[in-house]
Structure 1
Amino acid sequence: MKTVRLVVCCMMMLFALPAFGAGLEGRVREYTLKNGLKLLLVERHTSPTVAAWIRFRVGSVDERSDERGIAHLLEHMLFKGTKTLGTTNYAAEKPLLDKIEATAQQLIAEKAKHAKADQAKIDALSKQLKELEAAAGKYVVKEEFAEIYARNGGTGYNAMTGKDGTTYLINMPSNKLELWAAIESDRMQNAVFREFYTERDVVMEERRRSYDTEPGSMLWENFMATCYHAHPYGQPIIGWMSDIQNLTKTQAEEFYRKYYKPSNAIIALVGDLDPDKTLALVEKYFGAIPPGTPVPPVATVEPAQQGERRVEIIADAEPELLIGFHKPTLPDKDDYVFDVIDMVLADGRTSRLYKKLVVEKQLATEVSTFSAPGSRYPNVFCFAASPRAPHTVHEVEEAIYAELERLKTEPLSQRELQQILNKLEYEESRQMISNGGLARNLTEYEAVAGTWRYLIEHRQKVALVTPEDVMRVAKKYFIRENRTVGFITKREAAAPGEQK
């Protein structure tokens, strides 16, 4: 009986979700504080908890060429504490932090001389830096944010940095919401970047471990850099190694003071809350924070591609394939057409590419499609596939092109379009089951689309897509001169007398 009741409850929830989505317009309360902070509130009393998400409209795409990797490093630094949290004595710690920065700047400047650098000076400065860091480390209270949250019932404490933005999130008991407001408003105003150069070393090791020696990551980075010659979407979020090595605490603090402020912040609170009291709480803690500098739009426009580009990674790894075509982003009408194409080609085991490449021809073990690397600016519609031995990258590539030719010449059926709408309705509803899922979507679309109402409007726009639209878009964008191809070639044994 218990199992039956559980199944019935789940079914009732799923049936009710489209109605909730349809009524989202009346459920979301939105406010803009005088300092520009956007607040989105949804009252849901399904559990005595609140999902709290803060999204900053600043990501790696907003970095200058001498700042690459700074948004990702800032994500690490904003866990280090403030003037009151993460330290036993900030007054004593501060002079040491200043000396660390002065020493680090000298060390970076000397290393930048490369062959002309004074190695003795580098050694002396490196030793001095380590001694200062050890002295400052005596005042550090590690992970104090996380410990406070954990002691008070917080779960899922995390952060994410992407091309388009940076997000900090946690789920809290509803009666601890004021604690969240106190901590996060303090972090927005008074973050202290202690252990900066130690953490920079951690990021450099992350780069070595997860990118420089990982063939799949190497392929992705080189593929994106090949897709984009001008626009910063082509740069890696973590930064290239030389970028990370030259980042300074002074740069990071300037970036933080300008952009990680209310004018670029969106807060979504979803759960067991009283909207009026919650608004007053947010006003109390965040309302007096200076607005900061609105993130300027990226002025660089990626020039139209004039011919196919190909990039190969030779590695001790199985073959992999990436294909990308430049496309517009929302709210361009064609972006909605690509949503349809995405679902037709690779959404599930009944999709065209899965049936053709994985099931029928058994050319690949997996295949997927997605838009990357962000959504604020024109992006790339990507195909990713893993050839099944003994089949080759070339065979899989040609099979994908054959399916794209079908899109150009064979209209989708109304049944296929209706299946897509049904899947979208289910997926959108599923994403809103949890407080965190809804908070994520609200902050994401408010930041990228300019309004959280994209949640409501998206399926309505997709419903207007016709078979003729799909054929038109396929003919316009899926062409050789708009195509970038990346692939891994498995390293073979070296010929006699050659080095591997």
Structure 2
Amino acid sequence: MKKSILFLFFVVSAVYQTQAQQTDHQWKEAEAAGYRYKYVTNDPMKARFYTLKNGLTVILSPTPKDPRIQAYVAVKAGSKTDPATNTGLAHYLEHMLFKGTDKYGSLDWAKEKVELDKIDALYEQYNTTKDEAQRKIIYRKIDSISGVASTYAIANEYDKMMTAMGAQGTNAFTSFEQTVYTDDVPASAIDKYLTVQAERFRNPILRIFHTELEAVYEEKNRSLDNDGRKVFETLFATLFQKHNYGLQTTIGTVEHLKNPSLVEIRKYFNTYYVPNNMGIILSGDFNPDTVIATIDRMFGYMQSKPVKKYTFAPEDPIAAPVEKEIVGPDAESLTIGFRLPGNKDKDALLADLVGQVLTNGRAGLLDLNLVKKQKLLRANAFTYALIDHGVLYFSASPTSGQSLEEVKALVLGEIENLKKGNFDEELIVSIINNIKKSKINESESYGDRASALMDAFTSELDWKDQVAYVNNLSKIKKADLIAFANKYLGNNYVCVFKRKGDAPQSSKIEKPQITPVATNPDKQSAFVKMVNDMPATPATPVFLNFDKDIQKAKIGNAEVLYVPNKDNSLFRLRYRYNIGTLNDNTLGLAAQYVQFLGTNTQTAEQITKAFYKIACSFNVSTGENYTTVTIEGLQENFEAAVKLYEDVMANMQPNETALQAMKARIAKSRKDAKANKGAILQALTSYATYGANNKFNNTYSNATLEALTAKQLIDKIKNVTQCGQTILYYGPQPLNVLTASLKKLHPIPATTLTPAPAKTFVRTEQNSNQVLFTDYDMVQAETRWVRNLERFDPNQKTIIAAFNNYFGGGMSSLVFQTIRESKALAYSTYGYTVEPQKAEDQYQLLAYVGSQADKFEEAVVAMNALLTTMPELNDNLELAKMQIKKDIQTERITQDGILYTYLNAKELGVSQDLRQQVYNQVDQITMKDIRAYHDSHLAHKPYTYVILGSEKRLSPETLSKLGQFKKLSLEELFGY
């Protein structure tokens, strides 16, 4: 373990009361392999910062723990720099960077270019034409010529190259001032990855444009159904009336999306996608001396250009509170925003700490005074730091019977407490201790390292300040926070009331007529072949041996499962009791109740503070079959944390006020769930799986909730601790020391309580097509196909993995390529077999399309066609199999993941790591096997269609064509 990581740990102490010893952090320069770089002393991430001759920033953070590399190519440009006449441009350029160049993505670039030039000219004509009839004529020409151009294109070659090299998480994202392209690649494929990226940004071609733009339309329409996004955009538009943070949105306006300009897209690319405005950030298992030379060679062709800095006028002060209102189907909420200086202002560090003092999840002012005391359903605050401005962002939700105005008064009351200094200075020390703990975790993960370095780059932050972050926080005094609060948090806020009701009619983007384009999925460009043929030595897979990787012991009649932490001094201890909600559906209530209870010596708030002070925590959670107590934190505070928890369990005192408040919050949560389309879709799916009485609505009635007493809930939790248990531990303490310690600290009953039998649910058998529909005020339609299959069979593991990868489990799959890429019918779509969690459970086929309501019928036809007749693309199957092998080669199950992999295997009745079976068998899978699986499980089978949408847009007559129609009420779905 690196010295710097050791330092971070040892300064964290349960009795940490004084300012931490300051560690020196300075920029230094060094040279290796002919390249000069900068680094920060005592940086736990050991990051090297290079600037190549053309201005390209390269940030390398090597760590050999996993044979993988998290890679980002980041551009310091986003919606802030979109032209005012073409908002959303940075975002849809991001989409187009997946379409290839003149070297890949094309069968015949010379012929394709002729057609693409015609499309360019037609779009410019389209944008300047106002007559709707003429616009439709022009669009038909665009659609027609796009069809011709697509015959020369090969869709999705980027994703295929990344899949072939074993990449994971291939994606991109755009925000206010960053566009970032992300891949997680095997270490052995780094040369392939860099070859592809260097080509990707050389000469991107805007091919298959109108179908991809339709995917962006879909993304926009989804945002029109999202009340949370509306609140966010309203808040920023009101706070920033002279800055593009508020003047423009990342997705853009409907009008601009309807009128894209390929000329403007290229102009944007040529302006901002220049090396002096870009960064390559890598963290993982590599030699930085070798990698920097490769990057220099690959990206040396790029030429720097001056990038004009975004300028803006100062915002007018907000002299009095500004209130806005959003109405929509989601639950009520309150959002408040205060405008702050940008992220490089001297007060930015104070702003971060103010956010933590207000809410840190456990011991902040909002946490303790509003959530812990159950005055609100939820409340939080955080600092949203951007380059030019920041926002102190509050959100809160009412409990039963509360108005949003009352919620606002409570939140503002805690801001006043902050301004008056009504909080312990000790809280600052506790926050810093907990941040130190999180920094230990961050430096351990190659993915977290790369993410932190990338964010600092695009946010234009000095990495030295990031490394010194904790030490700099340690210098802040309570008086500094009070002064900050009084300076920035007055009557100068924007408040957005999100009320429940019928949303005003949105300006929805109408569906254009699009002819499906050719994707040529069975073709391959010479560039792709060259990349695939590059040598790469695969990593050797590492499989678990449960007998060797897990140590076992006994404490009384409880089994202890142990995995050592050899990296740092953090521990996670779990007591896993053999009782869950299937035994008692009110057990979750009892688990919730614990957090609001004190003991005979401490209040609930004092207990929370005590845990937070020593950078530890405890949590009680209940699932279907198990109730789990988790205690985690610093090993040096292990005994103190366990004692605190055991004291709570032994001496918890009933609190009737807390119970009544919790009942009110649960009643409100239940009401809110009925307004949440994600919860409704989950309920519909459970109904399709099990019938009217199912796992989702296996819950207590409102009458049962009201009748429950404090004593009953405490008795339930105490009974849990009398049931059989398994103790799980991941940490640095030796097993014999752990067991000796727990024997003293954790009483285990000599005889165990047998819980009530678990309720069982039998999956329905789909004998004919059915339609389950629930009405929801939305622009989109959410459609799932559900079919229950046979019981678990470990011998099916390999064929199912191969089928899922090939058919509908990712961006290279048949489902995604057909429904989104070729036919532009959905932003999101998938189709795969869901594996059971227990040996007696069944597999399930689950498919999904989220589309505009006016595309619903086409989308259903397209999915049904794939479920009935599966295209056979042998190269795609080989690619799917290759990805499975490469994923297994580089996957490392570590830490307490080992314990849960073992427990999950036991639930399935197997005693070995099933990945080894898949790895050894997947090469033998043939298209004949995939076809047989598809035909026997999917083709010409009845399905239950789960559909969530608006009755105004989806009529029962239309839905009844799919199968026997049943409209379900929220009461039927939720059980209350």
Q: Same fold (TM over 0.5)?
A: yes
> Which letter maps to 2:224?
D
The Cα shift of 1:294 comes to 2.2
For 2:203, the aligned partner's letter is: N
Higher share in helix: 1
Alpha-carbon deviations, 1:101-120, whole Å to 9, x = none?
1112112211xx3xxx2x44
- Aligned mates of 1:432, 1:71 — CA distance in 2: 31
Partner residue of 2:65 out of 37, 46, 49? 46
Asked whether the 8 Å contact 2:365–2:423 carries over to 1, the reply is no
Structure 1 CA distance, aligned partners of 2:92 and 2:272? 14
For 1:427, the equivalent position in structure 2 comes to 438
TM-fit CA distance, 1:462 = 1.4
Deviations 1:162-216 (A, max 9, x none): 112111111222221111111111111111111223222221221112x222222
The Cα shift of 1:389 comes to 2.2
1:247 aligns with 2:260: yes
Once the two structures are superposed, the pairs formed by residues 37-76 of structure 1 within 5 Å of their partners are 37-76=56-95
Q: Given residue 27 of structure 1, which amino acid in structure 2 is its aligned partner? A: K
Contact 2:91 2:250 in 1 (8 A): yes
Alignment correspondent of 1:179: 192
- After superposition, residues 92-491 of structure 1 pair within 5 angstroms as 92-110=111-129, 113=130, 117=131, 119-209=132-222, 211-234=223-246, 235-360=248-373, 362-372=374-384, 374-410=385-421, 412-480=423-491, 482-491=492-501
Alpha-carbon deviation of 1:295?
Answer: 4.6
Give the aligned residue type for 1:218: K
Contact residue 58 and residue 295 of structure 1 kept, 8 A: no
How far apart are 1:13 and its partner, in Å? 12
Contact 1:35–1:289 under 8 Å retained in 2? yes
RMSD of aligned residue pairs (Cα, Å): 2.4
Aligned-partner Cα distance in 2 for 1:102–1:109: 11
Q: What is the rounded CA distance, in whole Å, between the counterparts of 1:449 and 1:121 in structure 2?
A: 46
Secondary structure, in 3 states, of the residue corresponding to 1:331? coil
SS at match of 1:72: helix
Equivalent position of 2:525 in the other structure: none
Instruction: Say whether the 8 Å CA contact 1:154–1:173 is kept in structure 2.
Output: yes
CA distance change for structure 1 residues 454 and 157 in 2, over 3 Å: closer, same or farther? farther
8 A Cα contact 2:275 2:304, kept in partner? yes
Structure 2 counterpart of 1:4: none
- Partners of 1:36 and 1:229 lie apart in 2 by 34
Stretch of structure 1 that moved more, 321-330 or 447-456:
447-456
Summarize the Cα distance change of 1:279–1:158 in structure 2 as closer, same or farther, 3 Å threshold. Answer: same
CA distance in 1, matches of 2:81, 2:109: 31
Partner Cα separation in structure 2 for residue 257 and residue 18 of structure 1: 46
User: Which position in structure 2 is the counterpart of 1:498?
Assistant: none
> Could you tell me whether the CA contact under 8 Å between 1:62 and 1:298 is conserved in 2?
no
Query: Which residue number in structure 1 is paired with residue 678 of structure 2?
Result: none
1:35 is aligned to 2:54: yes
Change (3 A) 1:26 1:269: closer
Tell me the amino acid that sits aligned with residue 250 of structure 1.
V
Q: Which amino acid aligns with 1:489?
A: R
Cα separation, partners in 2 of 1:461 and 1:331, compared to 1, 3 Å: farther
Map Cα deviations across residues 373-395 of structure 1 (whole Å, 9 max, x no partner).
x5111121110112122212111
Q: Distance in 2 between matches of 1:442 and 1:177?
A: 19
Q: Residue type of the partner of 1:454?
A: D
Higher relative contact order (CA 8 A, sep 6+): 1
The offset of 1:297, in angstroms, is: 2.9
Q: Which residue identity is paired with 2:243?
A: H
Shift of residue 445, structure 1, vs aligned partner? 0.8
Contact residue 55 and residue 444 of structure 1 kept, 8 A: no
Name the counterpart of 1:6: none
Alpha carbons of structure 1 residues 184 and 369: separation in structure 2 relative to 1, 3 Å? same
Change in Cα spacing, 1:449 to 1:457, as seen in structure 2 (3 Å) is: farther
Q: Is the 8 A contact 1:51 1:439 kept in 2?
A: yes
- Separation in 2 of the partners of 1:310 and 1:175? 55
The structure whose Rg is larger is 2
Of 298-307 and 185-194, the range deviating more from structure 2: 298-307
2:143–2:210 CA contact under 8 A, matched in 1: no
SS at match of 2:377: strand
One-letter code aligned to 1:487: F
Change (3 A) 1:192 1:293: farther
SS state of the match for residue 349, structure 1? coil
**Residues 334, 496 of structure 2: 8 Å contact kept:** yes
Unmatched runs of 5 consecutive residues or more in structure 1: 1-8, 494-500
Aligned length: 474
SS of the residue 1:24 aligns to: coil
Amino acid at match of 1:171: D
Give the match's secondary structure for 1:371: strand
Paired residue type of 1:402: G
Could you tell me the TM-score, scaled by structure 1's length? 0.90
How far apart are the structure 2 equivalents of 1:16 and 1:141?
A: 52
1:430 Cα deviation (Å)? 1.9
| Deviates most, 240-249 or 163-172 | 240-249
1:449-470 C-alpha deviation (Å, 9 max, x unpaired): 4432232122222112111111
User: Is the Cα contact below 8 Å between 2:44 and 2:443 reproduced in 1?
Assistant: no
Q: 68, 86, 89: which is aligned to 2:105?
A: 86
TM-score by length of 2: 0.47
Alpha-carbon distance in structure 1 between the residues aligned to 2:9 and 2:79 = 35
Instruction: Decide whether aligned partners of structure 1 residues 151 and 477 sit closer, same or farther in structure 2, where only a CA change above 3 A counts.
Output: same
Distance of 2:281 and 2:333 partners within structure 1: 39
Deviation at 1:398, TM superposition (A): 0.3
- Matched-pair contact (CA < 8 Å) for 1:366–1:385: yes
SS in 2 for 1:301: coil
In structure 2, do the counterparts of structure 1 residues 254 and 18 end up closer, same or farther at CA, with 3 Å as the change threshold? farther
User: Which SS does the other structure have where 2:444 is aligned?
Assistant: coil
Report the CA distance between 1:137 and its aligned residue.
1.4
Q: Deviations over 1:278-327 (max 9, x none)?
A: 11101100122112442513333323222221110122332111000011
Aligned residue type for 1:180: Y
Question: How many angstroms apart in 1 are the aligned matches of 2:241 and 2:366?
Answer: 30
Measure, in 2, the Cα distance between the counterparts of 1:349 and 1:355. Answer: 7
CA contact (8 A) 1:322 1:382 kept: yes
**Equivalent pair of 1:257/1:292 in contact (CA under 8 Å):** no
Cα displacement string for residues 18-71 of structure 1 (whole angstroms, at most 9, x for unaligned residues): 589983278222210111101111221112222211111111111221121111
Residue 15 of structure 1, CA deviation: 6.0
Kept in 2, the 8 Å contact 1:35–1:290? The answer is yes
